[in-house]
Every structure is written in C-alpha cells, then in structure tokens.
Amino acid sequence: MRTVDGGKALRGLVFVLVIALLLGLAVARYAGAFRGGVPVTLHVDRVGTQLNEKADVKIRGLIVGRVEQISTTGSGADVELMIDEDKADLIPANVTARLLPKTLFGEKFVSLVPPSDPGAVKLASYDTIQQDRSVAGIEVERVLDDLLPLLQAVRPQDLATTLGALSQGLQGRGDQLGRTLEQLNTLTGGLRPAIPDLQEDISQLADFSENLSNAAPDLLDALDALTTTSRTITDEAANLRALYASVGGASDDLRAFLDANKENLIRLAASGRPTLETLRRYSPELPCFFSQVTGLIPYLDQVFGKGTNEPGVHITLEIGPTMGKYIPNQDEPEYRDDRGPRCYPMIDPGPQYPPDGPFRDGAVPPAPPVGQPVGPPAQFGVEDYGTFDGTYSWDLVRGFAWRPGTQVGAGGTVKPISYDMGITNSPGEQQQIAELVGARQGVAPGEVPEWGSVLVGPLYRGAEVTFT
C-alpha cells in the first residue's frame, strides 16, 4: 500500500486553485470587470434587435466604451454606456450618437458623432447623449433599417449566385467602370444646379394634376357638348358650303371696292390726321367737359319743372344791352384761338370771358363786365394742363387796351370802364340813351322817342350804369 504525502497534495490543490484564479481574473479582465468608467445615458427612439449588451462604443473608429444595459421608456429606449475614464476627456459633452451595424448582417454598435463646433465642456458622469437627428444620420439609419429586412428575405444561395455573376461581369472591366462612374459623376454634377427647378416643376405638375382632376367633370361635359356641335356642323354641311361661297363672293366685292378706292382711303386717312391730332391735343379737357355737362342735369330738371305739378320751361328772361351791330370786314367769323385745352370752372352767374381773354372767333368783343377775372388762368381755379404760355387776348376787346399790369383792379379784376356819351343831346348820346331805355323797357332802341334824351339824359350823365 502506497502512502500519499499530504503536503504535496495540498500544494497541488493550491496550484490548481491559483491557475483557476488566474484564468478567472484573465477572463474578468477581458470582460472589463476591473475597468473603471464614466457612466452616461444614450436616449434613442428605438434600438431594434441587433444592439446587445457589451456592444462597442466607438468614436471615429476607436473603441471608447461599451454598452452596459438597455431599457425601454414610454418614448423610446435608454442605453446605459460606460465610457473609459482615460478617453472621456477626449469626448465633448455635446456629442451625438448613431446606432450602426458592424456589417450588413452583423450586430450594431454605438457610433459617437462629434459636432462641427465641439464645446469646451467634456463628457462627465451621468450625462445624457442624444441621438443624431441630422439629415445625414436619419437617412443612414433609415437605409440600414430598410436594408436589413431585404437582406434577411434574400436566400443566401441566390445572393451568392448574383454576386458571382456580378463579379464575373466586372472582371477585367475596372477601367471602363471607372470611366463610367466619372461620366456619371459629371452628369449628376451638371444636373445638381437644376434640382430646385426640377422640384418646382414636379410640385407644379402635382398642382396641375389636381386642378385637372377637379376640372375633369367639366371637361367631360364640354366634350359631350362638342359632340353635339360636331353633329350640328355635319347636319348643316350644305348650308355651311353655301355660306362659304357667299363669303367668297363678298370678299371678291370687297377686294374690288378696295382696289377702286384705295387712293381715296389713303387720302381720307391723311386728311383725317389733323382732326385726330386736334382731338388728341384737347383730349385732357374731355373729362371736365362731360363732368360739367353732367352737372347741368339738376339745373335742367329745375328749368323743366321735374318733380313739380307745373311741367314746362320755367325761366326768367332779361333782355340785356346789345353787343353792337355787325361791322363788315371786322366781325367775320373765324377761328384764330390756339390757347390749348382748358377746364374753366362754372360760376353762377359766370363771367363773360375767361381770365386769359375772349376767344378769337373773328368778332370784336365788347368790354367785360365789372368783376371780370383777368390774369393767369391757374390763379382763378382754371386747369390749363400746362398749356398756358402767358398769351392774352384782351387786346381784342373794343375800347379796352389791357396790358399786363394795367387796367386790373384789386384781386385781379377789371376796373369799371368809363364811356364818353359825347355832346349833350347829340345823335351819339341819343343813340346810347335809346339803347339803355330800350333795354330797360323791353323795346327796340328805334322805338324810343328822340326826346327821351331830354328827359332821362340828365339822370344818366355822370352816373354808373351796370349791364346784366
């Protein structure tokens, strides 16, 4: 019987335990049980099924931590991360994160995305990291999320066959493929500036399609009505042919008329040009003219008794003094006035002449009444449309030698003009008294007795007489 040394057995047991302890420490070391770290929380909308605990946390491809725990919340999921202490000082506090797969079929890891403007504050314990919500980050996650179900649905043998055929097709054509990609890049680069216009065209096409859809019932009704019109045209084809024939005959007659009268039409157009130019010149005063004509309507209604029980003309007629007899070679009608368009205001009772003088109609006008405005038209509310050139026609007035600065009373009105009645009881005085008395009595001057000057002459001599 062999005797076992108890000391050796104990040493052997201790050796085995030490070896097991070292192996356990190595495994724990590899698992990160002895690593310290900075705990932070990543809040994401969803993690999927490919992110597991102990998954890597990377920044720019460098492993800086691991996933400790994953828990769900009401609005998403919280991923507890443990960042290595020696690397936490390299990560800014405003960093964001993406969940990316290591390969197309591999598990996901947490990819930290440094911001374009990292702050001075570094990542600290119990900080919260937000998910990267930039356009690029969202598009990458959407593509990967959509690609994974597709790859899972594809059978491996079919995928291997497709990839093999693709590899054989591209073998030896690398240069050609490169040139094709360069040309494609040039094409897409040229199309890039037109993308906003293309988007706008697509948007407008959508609006047009919607409008066309809304108008489709009316369009169908119009097409239905068009069939009725087409049927009517077909039924009336004979009448239409007769109409075309008559129109052709009328066209021949019109052509013959134009051939015979073309010179007359040209002369008519040429002779009508001065008239049209005159109408164009005086066109600014047409609104004023029609406005004043419209303003006469209430007065005409009053004159003709509108709205009263006495219809008819109601006027008060006063016979004023004569403007003098017609004198040959002096009062022949003519039109020599060229003052341009005017808009004289209507005054009741109005003055006898415009402020810039009587119209040059060939007659020798009598003296203006007392209070007659004299001067630039614009000073008396007259719209001259910028055509007044300082020209007056007061030199036409009989016995009224007006010049600028003379014979003008206060306020721009003409002073009363004195008349010399001549020698007492002379024929000239008798004629003037006969005109005054006749106008007063309503009889012709020839019916006033010659001795009237003896009775009323002393009353008129030296007195002021007003004509109305």
Q: 65-116 pLDDT, tens per residue?
A: 888 888 888 778 888 998 888 888 888 888 998 888 877 666 888 889 888 8
Q: What is the mean pLDDT of residues 305-316?
A: 83
Query: Chain-wide mean pLDDT for the chain?
Result: 79
Residue 405's pLDDT band (boundaries 50, 70, 90)?
A: very low
Cα separation of 393 and 85, whole Å?
Answer: 109
Which segments of 236-348 does DSSP mark as H helices, in order?
237-281, 286-303
Run of H or E including 198 = helix 195-235
| Residues of the chain above pLDDT 90, percent | 7
* pLDDT for residue 463 is more than 70: no
Are 343 and 382 within 8 A, CB to CB?
A: yes
pLDDT value, residue 264: 92
Angle between helices 237-281 and 195-235 (to 10 degrees): 120
Residue 409's pLDDT band (boundaries 50, 70, 90)?
A: very low
Higher-pLDDT residue of 441 and 190 is: 190
pLDDT value, residue 418: 47
Cα separation of 348 and 374, whole Å?
Answer: 17
Tell the residue number behind the tokens 């020209």, with chain if given: 391
pLDDT value, residue 392: 85
392 CB contacts (<8 Å, ≥6 apart)? Answer: 356, 357, 402, 404
435 CB contacts (<8 Å, ≥6 apart)? Answer: 321, 322, 445
Higher-pLDDT residue of 84 and 458 is: 84
Q: What is the mean pLDDT of residues 285-294?
A: 91
**Residue extents of the structural domains in the chain:** 1-34, 37-153, 318-417, 418-468
pTM value? 0.34
